[in-house]
Amino acid sequence: MKRSATFVGAAVMAVAVSLMAGCATTTRIDDEAFSLRRLKQESRGIALMRVGAASYKCVNVGVLLGVRAGEAYRRVKVLGVVNVRSIAATPVAEVELDAGEYHVVGYSCTNDKGGRVVTNDTGAGSSLFRTSYARFSVEPGEVVNVGYLHFTAQSNGDNAFGRPIKIEVEVTDWPLDEIARFERQRPHLYAAMIARHMKTGEPPVSPAEHADVCETWRTLRQSGKAATIPAACTEPGAVNRTIGKSGIAATAFPQQALR
């Protein structure tokens, strides 16, 4: 599953610090506290995320997780992977979470010279984010492999921060040799692990939301405030569940046009 888009990334220092702090160590669960029974009783689960390098220079990476907060996302956890290109250890972040849905809302990496790449799309404050690059769910008592996150961020402008960034996100299976290595090194997690990959792009809207969005576009068109109506609002047939508020596919940041 792959998505790509271009947006203006607002790099907020507080978020940058949080993301970089997540790179200090590889995120691991507490092995002594590991118990599937306990996880189920407490309505918690474990997510396993293989994290890739945004560029060939990346050494340590950080991923920022968030949860829904209205039309935005609130940060809740930073995952880190040290030496993302290691051939001795599988670069997999392990995290225990409350059952529910989580979103990848930020990514960072440091290179061998200490430089860093930070990508996040924030609103007025550093704790709320506009964009979900990928999402996954955790069920009570489960250990879920959410896949291999390939995150590519390329500069598309001249200024250092706030510059246009081209983002490409894809989720695949872990490489076979890394699955075998994880089985050897983390057998208790491997034995309980199931695979359910992250989905990329914004979640689809409901039929009711679809109708409301289309009505807003029609009103804007009639008043001369918009030049066109999205095709998904005019084409006959079943409701298009991927239409966003900008009238484009959900994988292209739909929730920003009507802000």
3-state SS class at 14: helix
Q: Pairing mode, if any, of strands 143-155 and 44-51?
A: parallel
Q: How many domains does the chain have?
A: 2
Phi-psi region of 141 (alpha: psi -120 to 50; beta: other; left: phi over 0): left
Q: 246 and 183 in one domain?
A: no
* pLDDT at residue 144, as a whole number: 98
Q: 139 and 32 in one domain?
A: yes
pLDDT at 180 over 90: yes
Q: Are 16 and 172 in contact (CB under 8 A)?
A: no
For residues 103 and 134, give the distance between their C-alpha atoms in angstroms, rounded to a whole number.
Answer: 6
* pLDDT at residue 13, as a whole number: 40
Q: Are 213 and 220 in contact (CB under 8 A)?
A: no
pLDDT at 89 over 60: yes
Q: What is the domain extent for residue 247?
A: 207-256
Q: Are 94 and 80 in contact (CB under 8 A)?
A: no
Q: 129 and 223 in one domain?
A: no
* End-of-domain residue from the set 160, 180, 200: 200
Average pLDDT over residues 175-190: 95
For residues 20 and 238, give the distance between their C-alpha atoms in angstroms, rounded to a whole number.
Answer: 45
For residues 165 and 159, give the distance between their C-alpha atoms in angstroms, rounded to a whole number.
Answer: 11
- For the ranges 22-31, 100-109, 184-193, 223-232, the maximum mean pLDDT occurs at 184-193
Q: 166 and 231 in one domain?
A: no
Length of the chain: 259
Q: Look up residue 168 and give its amino acid.
A: E
Convert the pLDDT of each residue in 71-84 to its tens digit. Answer: 889 999 999 998 88
* CATH code of the domain containing 57: 2.60.40.10
Q: 228 and 131 in one domain?
A: no
Q: Looking at residue 215, what DSSP letter applies?
A: H
Closest residue by Cα to residue 156 from 24, 18, 2, 6: 6
Q: 186 and 239 in one domain?
A: no
**Higher pLDDT among residues 70 and 30, named by residue:** 30
For residues 179 and 90, give the distance between their C-alpha atoms in angstroms, rounded to a whole number.
Answer: 8
| CB-based contacts of 120, cutoff 8 Å, min separation 6 | 9, 10, 11, 12, 15, 19, 64, 105, 106, 107, 129, 131
Q: 215 and 172 in one domain?
A: no
Q: What's the chain's average pLDDT?
A: 77
pLDDT at 158 over 60: no
Lowest-pLDDT choice from 39-48, 55-64, 238-247: 238-247
Average pLDDT over residues 54-66: 87
pLDDT at 243 over 70: no
Average pLDDT over residues 79-107: 90
* End-of-domain residue from the set 200, 221, 239: 200
**Higher pLDDT among residues 134 and 1, named by residue:** 134
Convert the pLDDT of each residue in 197-233 to its tens digit. Answer: 999 876 666 677 778 888 888 898 888 888 888 877 8
Q: Looking at residue 254, what DSSP letter applies?
A: G
Q: 178 and 217 in one domain?
A: no
* End-of-domain residue from the set 200, 219, 247: 200
Q: 194 and 231 in one domain?
A: no
Closest residue by Cα to residue 208 from 173, 239, 234: 239
Q: 6 and 115 in one domain?
A: yes
pLDDT-based confidence at residue 22 (cuts at 50, 70, 90): very low
Q: 169 and 93 in one domain?
A: yes
Q: Looking at residue 121, what DSSP letter applies?
A: B
Q: Are 48 and 143 in contact (CB under 8 A)?
A: yes
Question: Largest Cα–Cα distance in the chain?
Answer: 64
| CB-based contacts of 241, cutoff 8 Å, min separation 6 | 204, 205, 206, 207, 210
Q: 189 and 217 in one domain?
A: no
**Higher pLDDT among residues 59 and 103, named by residue:** 103
* pLDDT at residue 259, as a whole number: 29
Average pLDDT over residues 66-75: 90
